[in-house]
Amino acid sequence: MANEWATFGADLHLDLTGRGRRKALMDALREAVRSGRLTAGTRLPSSRSLAADLGMARNTVADAYAELTAEGWLTARQGSGTRVAPRSEPRPGPRPDPRPDPRPDPHPRAAGHPRPRPPLRPTPGTPLYDLQAGRPDVASFPRADWLKAARKALTAAPNDAFGYGDPRGRIELRTALAEYLARARGVHADPDRIVVCSGFVHGLQLVGRVLRDRGVRAVGVESFGLRAHRDLLARQDLRTPALGLDEKGTRTQELGEMGGVGAVLMTPAHQFPLGGALAPARRAAAVDWARAEGGLILEDDYDGEFRYDRQAVGALQGLDPERVVYFGTASKSLAPGLRLAWMMLPGDLAGEVAAAKGEIDWVSAATDQLTFAEFLASGAYDRHVRAMRLRYRRRRDQLVAAVAAHAPALRVSGIAAGLHVVLELPPGTEESTLRAAAGQGLALLGVDRFRHPDAAPLPDGIVVGYGTPPDSAWSGALETLCRVLP
């Protein structure tokens, strides 16, 4: 069942509530279609695939599909699969602000291209093995499928694709992203509210600038996270006070006590770097704060596709699209070198962020955007994510097993999702373990590396990434890691 969950079909996020698995599934599908999250023509996963995802019998899913088809919610045709049926109702939701003027500046300024996300830890020379967190297996980039998508996209590309274009990004990509995010991540998606950017850092830079211009002076952050993100906000003259963190995730109930905070930056689906998912009550508390105070939640969904033991936690944005800025990226699922990321913005913010991007640069190449749009629409992205999910799960299992065999006293956490785990070490051993790792040519980071200056320390630990080493080096990386563990 676990392997089936990882490999078959397209992803579909559903929230099943209430008694009776079949009824809960039917209600969730009806609501997804009624709300417009699943649009007409969207192809649903096969009954086998969805049954594996949801942990239910295949006949239960097949019966639900058949009844919804009879009711007119779905259509089923041999060779075409099960799809969302056309509906006459207009799609609900407020319309975004008028579009910014897409006409190019006749005297464009020099591009203010943001620097790519810097390495988390500089190391002298090239390490023998790289186990730093947040890095994917770029050797598995799907070159043949990407080339196929590029050829098809360039053949069909309109002439205006090679002009200055819309600062929000190509409409083909924004449309494909809206369909995918609604289906796979539970996002309330509208192509007109998407702004394509060159990475999470670029998107955060744009949103930070708009927040500052709106009068925001502080953005709350998680007590453990990337210093690069805090530094970027600080360069926008925004303070970054830290929220506490415990076994249920970030203590979002503290937001109301943080005076002057206009937004909060979070990784709710998979906290970086500690690895937990934000508890449902904490998610609700964050949304309640944003509604009451007119604040914004900046949701970094950096590796939302990679959850291994059950269906992925849905995006927080689905709880209130007008109070959440959703950030997604292809850096973990495909490769950071593509420089492709996106934001799903509230209606009153979309125009301002697009205008800010247009004043600085356009950044993401139109040809890459068109290729990614075709890659998404053809189903190649779903297939690649499923294959990588299985590969990363195998590596996670091998890592956990190796640690259990060589250092059974060590606690391993954050294993349910993502590309890294956290190993809790005996008190006072974090720095000595890192020194031993460096001496063995192992690039590794300690938990304290990610601590906010105002946050209390956590027990000693190391953050071990398992995405980067190629298959040929993976066993050697594991052996080296086990040698340096206390």
Walk me through the domains of the chain, giving residue ranges and CATH numbers.
2-84 (1.10.10.10), 129-134+382-484 (3.90.1150.10), 143-378 (3.40.640.10)
pLDDT of residue 9: 61
Please state, in angstroms and as integers, the Cα–Cα distance from residue 81 to each residue in 41, 42, 72, 94, following that order: 11, 10, 15, 32
Q: What is the pTM of this model?
A: 0.79
Residue 74 pairs with which residues in a beta bridge?
A: 84
pLDDT of residue 71: 65
pLDDT of residue 36: 80
Q: Are 168 and 195 in contact (CB under 8 A)?
A: yes
H helices then E strands: how many in the chain? 14, 17
Task: Give me the DSSP letters along 367-424.
Answer: HHHHHHHHHHHTTHHHHHHHHHHHHHHHHHHHHHHHHHHH-TTSEEE--SBSSEEEEE
Q: Which of 295, 356, 355, 357 is nearest to 320 (CA)?
A: 295
pLDDT of residue 192: 96
Q: Are 458 and 447 in contact (CB under 8 A)?
A: yes
Q: Which of 363, 365, 268 is nearest to 314 (CA)?
A: 268
**By three-state DSSP, how is residue 307 classified?**
strand
pLDDT of residue 305: 87
Average pLDDT, 10 consecutive residues per value, the chain (486 residues): 49 78 84 84 86 84 80 77 73 42 39 38 68 92 96 95 91 96 93 96 96 96 96 96 93 91 95 93 95 96 85 87 97 95 96 88 84 96 94 95 96 93 97 95 96 95 94 93 96
Q: Are 174 and 37 in contact (CB under 8 A)?
A: no
